[in-house]
Every structure is written in structure tokens, then in C-alpha cells.
Amino acid sequence: MQTPENLGPTLGRRALLGGAAAALGTLALPAFAQSAYPSRPVKFVVPFPAGGPVDTTGRAVAQKLSEYWGQQAIVDNRAGAGGIVGAEIAAKLPADGYNVFVCSIHHSVLPSLKPRLTYDIEKDFVPVSFGAMFPVVLVAHPDVPVKTVADIIALDKRSPGKLSFGSSGSGGGTHLAGELFNMQAGTKLLHVPYKGSAPAMTDLLGGQVQFMFSDAPTALPQIKAGKVRAIAVASAQRSALLPDVPTVVESGLPGYEAYSWAGFLAPAGTPKDVVQRLSADIGKALSDPQVKQRLYDAGAEAAPTTPEAFGKMLHTEIGKWTKVVRTADIKVD
């Protein structure tokens, strides 16, 4: 049986995880109050440009924390090399509680794609809290004669190697979602990488590819306009963004789960009591109705956790995507 300890933070456990994070906020507050943490600005390093889903998560939380603390929570965008540059910078920052790293699914995939990284995402950081999940949606061009996952599998069996799916780029979350599908469904969908979700969606609309494992913000407008057909969501449970669309699991592929995400880490050596304080306050921010709505509008779903739960989830994600990268023989420049 799957449990919160061996799964990523799916929607079915949002209440549990949020409750755990909220509970942290009630513990040891007098000691924290006496230490007057934070007494100066706290920096949140975001390893991607402003405006993307990871930045939106970090920025929404930082702004709310500034209100709670009466101290600035500053977002520092350090984009480059698919998240590597920001991670390298954050790993070397002082472990004093005044530096936080906003990581993403990329950082659970990079260890298998880039074995010579100058940092170790598990050894050079300590987990603070999961942040938000960004649902991945399997969509099809409306002219493709499929309405279900079973239809796709059957069509692929009749024409193996002739159907293709687009993604936002090689080694990214939407690419890996497609390769995981191939592994578990036994299909041979051909991967066509693009430089971002927008050009991939453009070619799907034009019929150059038949399918796409798309991030929710890119897919939702086209689904609502009837320009693409939503087949299934890749998360383990249905998304509040698309409540009428079944999951891949519901559609007959047990154990399938893929989503993009953002979370919060701190440099290794950050005092445990400070990590607990950060986790509690981030959990409080992610449970705030305004923050939840801001993330929802951006195609994300808030899902705070304890540091321990996020650490287990990150370790599981690394193992999961390492297997997919090796099985699919994924290479990136």
C-alpha cells in the first residue's frame, strides 16, 4: 500500500501535509521569539528567471513571510544551466538561517543527467518544506482518434513508433512524464523536444505532434477553448484545476505518477531550530488563502510539508527519475 512516506505530496494528502506543517507552527514558538529570528533580511535564491512557476512559488511565499516577520524576504533570481547555477550559488551560502534555496523537479533529475555536478542536492542542503505541485496534463490533438489512455496504447500498438509527443525540452519534467508513460504502458511514443512549452503547444495545435505532456498553465487555455483534448492528468489524484479529467492511474495504468514541483531547502548546517521555524512559517504562508489563490491562478497547488517528509520525497524523486533517465537513455548537452 502506498503511504505518505513513500509517495510525493499528491493532492490526496494535501490536508495531511498542510496539517503537519501547521502543527509545526505551534511548537517551540516561545524559544524562537526569544531568539528574535529573523533579525535581518532572508534571501530566497530562485534558480530560474522571474515569472515562471518556481519563481511564482518562491515569490508568493517570500512576500507573505515579509508580512509575518517584519523583515524582508528577498527573492534573488540566479538563472542558468537549467537550475544548476542557482544551486551552485546557494550551496556555498552561509548556513545561518538567512539563506533559502527554492528548488524544483529539475534538481531531482540533474544528478542522473549531470553526474559531475559541483554540489550534491541531498548532502549540501537540508530539507525545509515542499512548496507546490504543478500538474502535468496529457493532451491530444483533436483530430487524433483517442479519448482515453487505453485508446492511446491501442493506437500505438497498431502503429508502433509513428506517434509522437512534444515536451518543453529534453530532460525536463514533461519529457520525463512521457518517458515514464512509455515505460509503464509499453508504448513507443517518439519524443520531440522544444525550447519551452509554448512552441511545443504551437506544434501540437498544428498537428506536427499528436500528444503533449504539458504543464497546466500552458494546457488549460487550449483545453477550455476546445483546441486540444485533455486525456488524463499525470498526478496520482485528480487536480482541482481539472476536476473532471481522470488520472492516468484511473485510466488503467497503476502506479503512474508525474508532476512538476517546487520546494524549499537550506544550506547544510543550518541550525535545526531555524529549519523548523522556516518550515512552520512557510507552511503557514502556503496555507494562506491569498497565497493559495495566487498559486492556483498560476496553475499550481500549494502543498506544505514537514522537513522530514520533504526529505523523503526528494530522495524518492531522485531514485525514480534516475531509473527513467537510464532506461530511456536520456542525454542532454
Question: Do the beta carbons of residue 210 and residue 165 sit within 8 Å?
Answer: yes
- Quick check: do 11-133+259-328 and 135-233 share a fold? yes
Which residues make Cβ contacts (< 8 Å) with residue 1, sequence separation at least 6? none
> Pairing between strand 301-302 and 211-215?
unpaired
Greater model confidence, 151 or 34: 151
- Report whether pLDDT(147) > 50: yes
In this predicted structure, what is the pLDDT of residue 161?
86
Radius of gyration, alpha carbons of the chain: 20
In this predicted structure, what is the pLDDT of residue 283?
98
Q: Does domain 135-233 have CATH number 1.10.3720.10?
A: no
Q: What is the pLDDT of residues 236-283, one digit of tens each?
A: 999 999 999 999 999 999 999 999 999 999 999 999 999 999 999 999
Least confident range from 5-19, 144-158, 224-238: namely: 5-19
Residue 173: name the closest of 113, 115, 105 by CA.
Answer: 105
Fold observed for domain 11-133+259-328: D-Maltodextrin-Binding Protein; domain 2 (3.40.190)
pLDDT band at 208 (very low <50, low <70, confident <90, very high): very high
pLDDT band at 332 (very low <50, low <70, confident <90, very high): confident
pLDDT band at 21 (very low <50, low <70, confident <90, very high): very low
pLDDT band at 35 (very low <50, low <70, confident <90, very high): low
- Report whether pLDDT(24) > 60: no
DSSP 235-281: SSS--TTSTTSPBTTTTT-TT---EEEEEEEEETT--HHHHHHHHHH
In this predicted structure, what is the pLDDT of residue 36?
86
- Report whether pLDDT(179) > 90: yes
CA distance 217 to 10: 18
% of residues, the chain, pLDDT over 70: 89
Q: What is the pLDDT of residues 62-90, one digit of tens each?
A: 999 999 999 999 999 999 999 999 999 99
CA angle 122, 179, 4 (to 5 degrees): 45
Is the full-model pTM beyond 0.85? yes
Q: What value does the mean pLDDT of the chain take?
A: 90
**DSSP element (H, E) containing 192:** strand 190-193
In this predicted structure, what is the pLDDT of residue 28?
40
218: alpha, beta or left, given left = phi > 0 and alpha = psi -120 to 50?
alpha
Partnered with residue 135 across adjacent β-strands are: 259
Residue 307: name the closest of 253, 271, 259, 258 by CA.
Answer: 271
Domain segments of the chain as ranges: 11-133+259-328, 135-233
Which residues make Cβ contacts (< 8 Å) with residue 86, sequence separation at least 6? 45, 46, 47, 48, 77, 78, 79, 80, 101
Least confident range from 107-111, 142-146, 157-161, 211-215: namely: 157-161
- Report whether pLDDT(14) > 70: no
* Phi, then psi, of 194 in degrees rounded to 5: -130, 170
Question: Do the beta carbons of residue 53 and residue 299 sit within 8 Å?
Answer: yes
In this predicted structure, what is the pLDDT of residue 214?
95
